[in-house]
Amino acid sequence: MRRVLIGALLGLAVLAISVIFTGGPTPATACPDPPKVTICHRHDSVTNPYNTETVAAAAVDGQGQNDHTKHTGPVATSQAVAQALKDAQHHDDHGVPWGDIIPPHPDNALNWTDWGQAMFNNDCNYVTPSCENGLIDPDADECHTFSDICYNGETIRIRDDDGRQDTGDCGIISVCHDGVIADYVEYYAPEDTDDCGAVTVCHDGVIAYYIEYFAPADTGDCDEIEVCHDGVVATYIEYFAPEDTGDCGTITVCHDGVVADYVEYFAPEDTNDCGIVQVCIDGEIVDVTQYEANQGVDTGDCDIVQVCIDGVFVEATEFEVNTGLVVDTDDCGTVTVCHDGVVADYVEFFAPEDTGDCGNVTVCVDGAYAEYIEYFAPADTEDCDLVPACVNGVIVEVTEYAYNQGADTGDCYLVTVCINGENVQITKYEADQRGLVLAACPPPPPPPTPTPTPIIPTPTPTVTPPAGHTPTAPPEKTPTPKVTVTPPIHHPDYTPTVVPTTPTPPEVTPTEPPTATTTPTTPSTFPNTGSGALATTTHHSGMMYGWELALILLGMIGICAGVGFIARE
């Protein structure tokens, strides 16, 4: 019985060795590159609101907090629209107020309107979309013509489908209404009462000009009349004149500058030089009689002139200027001066020193360019240039400021992980996001050893290999390339390098099968243990290698020897 077990074990061992030599691992299949999508990514600049970017399709599938479909907002169709959107933005909201432009992929489009498509097709730059008969209406995103009309006193712009007509009442007209002349828009003008003219009216002894609407009734008692009353002859307005008494035999006479009333009989010669006239004497206007004026007292130096004294215009007489009492300093003109970053107009006398620091300069501060007045400009930090960096597994461009602040996450290099029993190379970022262990797959366990089953042989004819049989050499195995991963370095220009190394396959020398006489057993009596079991007697092309056939025959001979011992006992 012990000999039977020894023979059976020897045969099974030979079969196991043949299975090991004929099997092989299946090489891993490389993963295809992920698809890409080109979009217009919003950028916080009124003059350049979009950048053209090509991103992974996963970045526009609507999933994740940083997905581009979450960059919502209207399209910045022009610089004026972009500025209006920023002006309307809350002062604490530091986001970009307009949205990305994303083409359908496959159905997650954003701002894919006519205007958005026009900007996308113009490399994400501003355009002025036009249509056959007019312009695109940015509010309705439709093609219409526009025209200006006068409607109920106001000039308005309407679209071609508005339906309102020009009322022609937007002109300015002058209207007299209740004594007041004013300009009105024709639509709003009141009725013309035609009572705004000036009229002269005598009312209770007073002649005055009135607006017709406000004029009182004319009493007709404003004429001057001369009346002698109680010995005094005087001129009165008719309304105010006293009763004429007729006792005024005196006359008024001017003599050598003196006017006096005389009884007509005693009156001296009238010299007619008693009128009061104004003359200039040493810079002052004074009243004198015509008689005095005829004596040559007028010096003619009372005209008022403007003089500049220490930046202020003052008035002085020609007498003061001619005599040196007032000296013109000539420093009242206006000059434009830049002082400490502010340009302003000053009176020349009061103007400060020109510091020459009011021009605009562009300065880089903490990664962003901005314009400042030179006096108020901060120090240039020189960190606005773009440099490549690894951010969450993707090589992107960031400013030097962002790079210095730690924007580079350093997780773009490739690592080997085990997924579903296969070694796969992915980025360090993806491995961390998926929680994968950075290790290759363990080798497969060895196949289990089957338990032998006693077999009763059946005599069969002797099997001799056909004449001229030539063993077929096994096909060369394609070895799995070894992957050398460059150690990770945190540098913006770093790109993981994969170097495949192909080992030299071992040479296989075919072995001539020996001529043997054997008694095969009915194949159905052997247990089916899967790939490489005894029931399978062909290899790939249906022909067995000589050395495989020899090992199988040796195993079968061992089993038959054990059965023979049992029969003799």
At 382-429, the pLDDT tens digits run 889 999 999 988 999 999 999 999 889 888 989 999 998 899 999 999
Mean pLDDT of 349-373: 91
The boundaries of the domain holding residue 123 are 36-143
345 Cβ contact partners less than 8 Å away, ≥ 6 residues apart: 334, 335, 336, 337
Assigned domain for 422 exists: no
Assigned domain for 154 exists: no
Question: 425-448, pLDDT tens digit by residue?
Answer: 999 999 999 888 888 898 888 887
Mean pLDDT of 109-116: 88
42 in the same domain as 138 = yes
Q: Is 506 a residue whose pLDDT tops 70?
A: no
What's the chain's length in residues? 569
Model confidence band, residue 263 (pLDDT cutoffs 50, 70, 90): confident
51 in the same domain as 16 = no
Q: What is the model's pLDDT at position 282?
A: 87
Assigned domain for 276 exists: no
Amino acid at 541: S
Strands 154-159 and 172-177: unpaired
* Lowest-pLDDT range of 143-152, 445-454, 455-464, 523-532: 523-532
Name the average pLDDT for the chain.
77
Q: Is 274 a residue whose pLDDT tops 70?
A: yes
Assigned domain for 405 exists: no
84 in the same domain as 113 = yes
128 in the same domain as 44 = yes
19 in the same domain as 127 = no
131 in the same domain as 79 = yes
Compute and round to an integer the Cα radius of gyration of the chain. 59
Q: Is 477 a residue whose pLDDT tops 90?
A: no
Question: 213-240, pLDDT tens digit by residue?
Answer: 998 998 888 999 988 888 778 899 988 9
Q: What is the model's pLDDT at position 262?
A: 86
Closest CA to 549 of 463, 476, 454: 463
Distance, CA of 496 to CA of 90 (rounded, Å): 44
For residue 499, what are its two tokens? 């170097």
Distance, CA of 378 to CA of 129 (rounded, Å): 41
76 in the same domain as 95 = yes
Closest CA to 232 of 221, 241, 220, 245: 245
Distance, CA of 465 to CA of 556 (rounded, Å): 17
Q: What is the model's pLDDT at position 140?
A: 54
52 in the same domain as 127 = yes
* Lowest-pLDDT range of 63-67, 131-135, 141-145, 337-341: 131-135
Q: What percent of the chain has pLDDT over 90?
A: 22
Q: Are 306 and 321 in contact (CB under 8 A)?
A: no
- Other C-beta atoms lying within 10 Å of the C-beta of residue 134: 15
Q: Of 104, 124, 143, which one is at a domain's C-terminal end?
A: 143
Assigned domain for 292 exists: no
Assigned domain for 490 exists: no
Q: Of 143, 159, 187, which one is at a domain's C-terminal end?
A: 143
10 in the same domain as 46 = no
Q: How many structural domains is the chain composed of?
A: 2
Assigned domain for 469 exists: no
563 in the same domain as 459 = yes
Distance, CA of 432 to CA of 204 (rounded, Å): 108
What's the distance, CA 387 to chain centroid? 21
- Other C-beta atoms lying within 10 Å of the C-beta of residue 459: 5
137 in the same domain as 90 = yes
Q: What is the model's pLDDT at position 467?
A: 59
120 in the same domain as 50 = yes
Q: What is the model's pLDDT at position 91?
A: 46
Assigned domain for 243 exists: no
Q: Is 155 a residue whose pLDDT tops 90?
A: no
Amino acid at 405: Q
Mean pLDDT of 336-358: 91
Beta-strand runs (E) in 404-559: 414-419, 422-427, 482-485, 498-501
Q: Of 143, 162, 177, which one is at a domain's C-terminal end?
A: 143
Q: What is the model's pLDDT at position 485?
A: 39
